[in-house]
Amino acid sequence: MNSLIEVESLSKQFESRRGLLGRFKAQVSAVEEVDFHIERTEIFGLVGESGCGKSTLGKCLVRLYQPTSGHIWFDGEDIAATPSSRLTPLRKKMQLVFQDPNASLNPRRSIASSIADALIIHRLVQTKTERLRKIQTLLEQVEIPASYAYKYPSMLSGGQRQRVAIARSLAVEPIFLVLDEPTSSLDVSVQAKIVCLLQSLQNTLELTYMFITHDLALMRTLSHRTAVMYLGRFYEVGETDQLFSNAYHPYTRTLLASVPVVSNEEESLRPKDESQEGEVPNPASPPTGCAFHPRCSLVHDRCRQALPPLIEVEAGHFVRCYNYKTTNSP
């Protein structure tokens, strides 16, 4: 195993205020006791419904958020508690591509100006001529004409803006990218082109990705391994092919049942939806035991009382469920 990232017991809590004038404080757990690893040049997928903690976990990995507890071993160094003053060298190795390029790009600054910031901060070029040449190379790398360097975000399409955001993240030559739903705000045809670009860059530059999405069909074509997240915890982790062909957790099967199909053969392979009506519970007041139990049709008393451990049911395939044998029975 050649891990670039190893995460151990990672948790992130936020403080919220309740009551009259916000006098009462409460802790909200966005990420709770998460353990996993990402191998070098791997595409590690993270799926789950909105509000389950996916984006928070991604931001913890690149230290936009400081974890409340736990460890993040990045390239052999525990960066979970690294002081902010020492984070600048780390930014060269890891970057985040946000979901909405409209929000991540400053509309008042040209494309060249937005990309140049990283080159200036990290002193990667010495002269303006070198800086412009580097910016043009980056744009061409993401299939944007070099002449677009002096355009503004409002003059570009959504797909072009996302390509610029990707180019900006590549400016410092990172080895790890967190891609936080980078295609969800784009048209379907544009999504496919961005995914092809990301795959090409990953192969050419030998990048490691964490790809965050709620689109399991996209995850199936892109990721090597996938983790299913629910209310801050991992509930199933395994090779992506394993999850699609042999999902154990009722929540994973519910997500797979919602994937659109276009043929009777695909319909026959789709697992039965084993959930009841409902939404992700409030993280400020999570259910006892297994967090999915209020929505699970297989629930019994043990599920309500104690959180199941994450156990290995097949080689490299982990699940957090007392009833995993029931879900996979013939």
8 within some domain: no
36-75, pLDDT tens digit by residue? 999 999 999 999 988 889 999 999 999 999 999 999 999 9
84 within some domain: yes
150 within some domain: no
Q: What is the mean pLDDT of the chain?
A: 88
The model's pTM is 0.90
227 within some domain: yes
11 within some domain: no
What are the C-alpha distances in Å from 149 to residues 113, 145, 168? 8, 8, 12
234-265, pLDDT tens digit by residue? 999 999 999 988 999 999 988 888 776 555 55
pLDDT tops 70 at residue 230:
yes
Order of strands, edge to edge, in the sheet holding 69-74?
Answer: 24-39, 3-18, 69-74, 77-78
Q: Indicate the pairing of strand 24-39 with strand 3-18.
A: antiparallel
156 within some domain: no
Query: What is the domain extent for residue 52?
Result: 38-67+76-93+174-327
52 within some domain: yes
178 within some domain: yes
The whole-angstrom separation of Cα 44 and Cα 168 is: 22
Question: What CATH number does the domain containing 202 carry?
Answer: 3.40.50.300
Count how many domains the chain has: 1
Give the pLDDT score at 330: 43
CB 60 within 8 A of CB 12: yes
